[in-house]
């Protein structure tokens, strides 16, 4: 007897790589979206086995999932070939995670009753892997006290996790809660439950994006930050279990799921938001490119070109250095752990070392923003981690991966390493 798979927390930068996921598809219209979930899991490197209820097969054919996963699909508990080739116990035992998408009202009720009468319910009852439910159904079915009680029972008694449902326009023409969570959000939830949770319960604040300092109602002084690096850090910390607050300057990048976000525009607004967010923070990561100067006077009305002439002088005054203020306020205390960035174009490490001391940080992420594929607005970054013990180069890579390498150092510093 082989026995169940030993499940270890995985590298949070790629938790789905080589992970075995059993995707259980229920019989609802959202079953077609489960194909996208299978595709995304496969793309992230997971080995995906699919089990389908009879009703799910009325909405999408098993062939779709077989083509997407390149693996046989388990559809019939009582088929001699299915049970011999795949087997519900094998799917239950080999899984690192079981995802139920869509989890219909009917499946939820049967699971809450401990039923094991088809391919899907028997895999789920037999597994020792974490189970992630992605509910999807009509608004009234979802809000029905019996469905709510069933979900509570699955969460409280069996320890199942949930993602969604979302709120919006449903196939049944109702508008409200009951939409299957977006496939990307289901896959991120899977990544979260497979990842090491080394920041569980840690209150972590991230500042991200640029600030805009108004000249008049239509013009501003700003910079090239897109918010990508800070948003990647917020998402990475959330995946590792942190309670994340993101203070986000003007940015087109959507904030990650499960992160409390405060949108700000100017350095002054960022200062207020930070004062509130950092009160009880364990870690503060200052990725934001906060304007060092702002116009001394912002005009109430648009300044007309004709009123100015050929040259225009904008008097600038210094903004406070928010990170230095946090360092000063912390004094000799050890909390919060302070992480600054240093966007530099020359003498990168040396300048980062100076910022480590002058801003009283625990870690400075030195970012050579002159290097192609690094720094502002691109999807990749190349940084060096500078702290009191030395400087460590992080290989250039996607901001999502670089974010995890920065957080690895945060975890190490928190544990005194």
Q: Of 46 and 365, which has the nearer Cβ to ligand PMT?
A: 365
Q: Give least dist CB 236 to ligand PMT, A.
A: 13
Q: Closest distance between ligand PMT and the C-beta of residue 380, in Å?
A: 10
State how far the Cα of 180 lies from the Cα of 163, in Å rounded to an integer: 9
- Of 182, 216, 321, 371, the one binding ligand PMT by CB under 6 A: 321
* Residue 330: Cβ within 10 Å count: 18
Quote the CA–CA distance of 287 and 364 in Å, as a whole number.
10
6 three-class SS = coil
Tell me: does residue 367 bind ligand PMT (CB under 6 A). Answer: yes
Q: Does 355 bind ligand PMT (CB under 6 A)?
A: yes
3-state secondary structure (DSSP) of residue 341: strand
Q: Rounded to whole angstroms, how far apart are CA atoms 153 and 375?
A: 47
Q: Are 158 and 100 in contact (CB under 8 A)?
A: no
CA dihedral sign of residues 180, 184, 185, 191: positive
Query: Could you give the C-alpha distances from 184 to 129, 181, 188, 274, in angstroms and in order?
Result: 21, 8, 6, 30
Q: What are phi and psi of 104, to 5 degrees?
A: -80, 170
Binding window for ligand PMT (CB under 6 A); candidates: 15-23, 109-117, 228-236, 298-306: 228-236
Give yes or no for residue 356 binding ligand PMT (CB under 6 A). no
Q: How many residues bind ligand PMT (CB under 6 A)?
A: 28
* Cα(243)–Cα(234) distance, integer angstroms: 10
If binding is defined by CB under 6 A, does position 376 make contact with ligand PMT? yes
Does 317 bind ligand PMT (CB under 6 A)? Our answer is no
**Minimum distance, C-beta of residue 339 to ligand PMT, in the bound complex (Å):** 8
Work out whether 249 is an interface residue with ligand PMT (CB under 6 A): no
Token pair for residue 44? Answer: 């992230």
Q: Return the residue of 215, 290, 337, 385 that touches ligand PMT, per CB under 6 A.
A: 290
Is 361 noted as a catalytic residue in this protein?
no
Q: How far is the CB of 370 from ligand PMT (least distance, A)?
A: 11
8-state DSSP, 251: -
Considering the complex, what minimum distance in angstroms separates the CB of residue 414 from ligand PMT? 19
186-214 burial, b if ≥16 CB within 10 A, otherwise e? bbbbbbbbbbbebbeebbbbbbbbbbbbb
Specify the stretch interacting with ligand PMT by CB under 6 A; choose among 31-39, 154-162, 164-172, 334-342. 334-342
Residue 59 binding ligand PMT, by CB under 6 A: no
Percentage helix, strand, coil, to 5, in the chain? 35, 25, 40
Kindly state the smallest distance separating residue 233's Cβ from ligand PMT, in Å: 9
DSSP-H helix ranges across 70-161: 80-85, 88-94, 105-112, 119-126, 139-143, 145-156
Number of H helices and number of E strands within the chain?
A: 16, 20
Q: Does 278 bind ligand PMT (CB under 6 A)?
A: no
**Residue 347 gets which letter from DSSP?**
S
The nearest distance, CB 255 to ligand PMT, in angstroms, is 13
The region that residue 168 occupies, defined by phi over 0 for left and psi between -120 and 50 for alpha, beta otherwise, is left
Contact 215, 295 (CB under 8 A): yes
Draw the binding track, 176-215, toward ligand PMT (x: CB under 6 A; -: no contact): ---------------------------------x------
Only one residue has tokens 């940084």, namely 383
- Active-site annotation holder among 172, 275, 377, 392: 172
Stretch that binds ligand PMT, among 50-58, 109-117, 121-129, 320-328 (CB under 6 A): 320-328
Of 124 and 290, the one with the shorter C-beta distance to ligand PMT is 290
Q: Does 227 bind ligand PMT (CB under 6 A)?
A: yes
- Selected from 131, 264, 323, 363, the binder of ligand PMT by CB under 6 A is 323
Which member of 292, 405, 411, 414 binds ligand PMT (CB under 6 A)?
Answer: 292
CB of 245 to ligand PMT, least distance (A): 15
Q: Does 384 bind ligand PMT (CB under 6 A)?
A: no
Q: Is 287 in the site for ligand PMT (CB under 6 A)?
A: yes
Residue whose CB is less far from ligand PMT, 259 or 267? 267
How many Å separate Cα 111 from the centre of its chain? 28
- Cis status of the peptide bond prior to 165, with omega within 30 of 0: yes
> With respect to ligand PMT, which residue has the nearer C-beta, 216 or 371?
371
Where do contacts with ligand PMT occur on this chain (CB under 6 A)?
209, 225-230, 267, 286-290, 292, 319, 321-323, 340-343, 355, 367, 369, 375-377
Residues annotated as catalytic are: 172
């Amino acid at each position: 007897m082989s026995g169940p798979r030993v499940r270890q927390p995985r590298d949070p930068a790629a938790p789905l790589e080589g992970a075995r996921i059993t995707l259980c598809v229920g019989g609802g219209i959202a079953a077609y979206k489960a194909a996208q979930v299978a595709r995304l899991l496969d793309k992230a490197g997971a080995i995906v086995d699919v089990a389908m209820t009879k009703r799910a097969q009325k909405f999408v054919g098993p062939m779709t999932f077989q083509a997407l996963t390149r693996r046989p699909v388990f559809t019939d508990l009582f088929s001699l070939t299915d049970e011999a080739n795949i087997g519900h116990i094998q799917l239950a035992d080999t899984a690192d995670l079981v995802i139920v998408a869509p989890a219909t009202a009917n499946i939820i009720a049967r699971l809450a009753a401990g039923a094991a009468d088809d391919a899907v319910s028997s895999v789920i009852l037999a597994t020792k892997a974490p189970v992630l439910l992605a509910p999807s159904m009509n608004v009234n079915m979802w809000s029905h006290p019996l469905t709510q009680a069933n979900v509570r029972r699955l969460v409280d008694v069996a320890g199942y996790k949930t993602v969604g449902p979302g709120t919006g326009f449903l196939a049944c023409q109702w508008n409200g809660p009951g939409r299957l969570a977006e496939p990307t959000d289901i896959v991120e939830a899977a990544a979260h439950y497979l990842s090491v949770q080394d920041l569980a319960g840690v209150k972590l604040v991230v500042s991200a994006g640029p600030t805009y300092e108004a000249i008049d109602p239509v013009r501003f002084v700003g910079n090239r930050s897109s918010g990508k690096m800070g948003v990647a850090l917020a998402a990475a910390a959330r995946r590792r279990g942190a309670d994340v607050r993101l203070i986000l300057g003007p940015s087109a990048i959507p904030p990650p799921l499960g992160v409390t976000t405060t949108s700000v525009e100017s350095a002054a607004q960022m200062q207020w938001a930070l004062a509130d967010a950092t009160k009880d923070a364990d870690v503060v990561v200052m990725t934001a490119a906060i304007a060092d100067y702002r116009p001394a006077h912002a005009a109430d009305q648009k300044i007309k070109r004709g009123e100015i002439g050929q040259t225009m002088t904008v008097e600038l005054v210094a903004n406070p250095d928010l990170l230095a203020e946090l360092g000063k306020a912390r004094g000799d205390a050890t909390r919060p752990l302070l992480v600054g960035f240093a966007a530099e174009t020359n003498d990168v490490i040396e300048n980062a070392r100076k910022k480590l001391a002058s801003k009283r940080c625990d870690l400075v992420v030195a970012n050579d923003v002159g290097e192609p594929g690094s720094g502002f607005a691109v999807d990749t970054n190349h940084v060096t981690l500078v702290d009191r013990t030395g400087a460590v180069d992080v290989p250039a890579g996607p901001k999502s991966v670089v974010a995890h390498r920065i957080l690895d150092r945060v975890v190490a510093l928190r544990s005194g390493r």
